[in-house]
Amino acid sequence: MKFNFTKASMSVLLCAAMLSSCVSSKKYDELKASKDALEREQAASRDKVNELSNTLKQREQKLAEMERAMNEQQKILDDLRTEVNNALAGFNQGDLSVNIKDGKVYVSMSDKLLFATGSTKVNAKGKEALDQLVDVLKKNQSVGVMVEGHTDDVEVLAGTKNIADNWDLSVLRATEITRLMTQRGLSPDRVTPAGRAFFQPVDTGRTPAAKAKNRRTEIILTPDFTEIYKILGIQSQK
């Protein structure tokens, strides 16, 4: 009877030990699986961080390239404006202005500087100013030129020879300036004349001073920014 009890006790202890061993092994496997999963998650997180870091570096490099390109574009425009201003410094500054707008340099000359009233022929002072501007453009061969004639909204006097209206007046003045600039050495394929009549006023007032501002010729200078636009990822605007 004692033997059976002892045997039974040993069996119980052995089963308990085996059960404990099974539980510990299962717990170990669960912990190991959890550890492996955590390590995989950490590895994936590291890969994602590295990917984001590389993407950030690439974007920073692109932004730096774009900033350099924009600074270079602005420098080209500033230098061209300075050259033109220096060339025209001897003329009455009330009759002309040189400004940067929309990636271009606008040289605005009053009709008083260039033409007699109602005339399409450039006067002596105007020719001198155009000569100075042409000298600058000869040194900047990649700059395109648009010559725009602008008038006020006062009707052309009836019977004015060869001029029917303000369209005629603005086109003929732009063409005359284009002709003079090409005669002085600019390649004709660089210069484009255009007449705007009175449809693009700079001053919508009705005073004589406002009308005088609108009677002007704008010579629009467009540097070649093809390479800079490539860096900026935009289509050439030339």
Give the model confidence (pLDDT) of 86-144 as tens digits.
Answer: 999 999 989 999 999 999 999 999 999 999 888 999 999 999 999 999 999 999 999 99
Provide the pLDDT for residue 11.
61
How far is Cα 116 from Cα 134, in angstroms, rounded to an integer? 22
In the block, tokens 């725009």 appear at 148
Say whether pLDDT at 182 is over 70: yes
Mean pLDDT within 29-56: 82
The whole-model pTM stands at: 0.76
Q: Are strands 216-222 and 96-101 parallel, antiparallel or unpaired?
A: unpaired
pLDDT digits (tens, 9 = 90+) for 52-96: 888 888 888 878 877 887 889 999 999 999 999 999 999 998 999
Phi first, then psi: give them for residue 179, nearest 5 degrees: -60, -45
Domain boundaries, the chain: 1-54, 72-232
Say whether pLDDT at 3 is over 50: no
Say whether pLDDT at 2 is over 50: no
Say whether pLDDT at 21 is over 50: yes
Do residues 122 and 130 lie in contact, with contact meaning Cβ atoms separated by under 8 Å?
yes
Provide the pLDDT for residue 144.
96
Band of residue 49 on the pLDDT scale cut at 50, 70, 90: confident
Number of Cβ atoms within 10 Å of the Cβ of 125: 14
CATH 3.20.20.100 fits 72-232, yes or no: no
Residue 196 is classified by DSSP as -
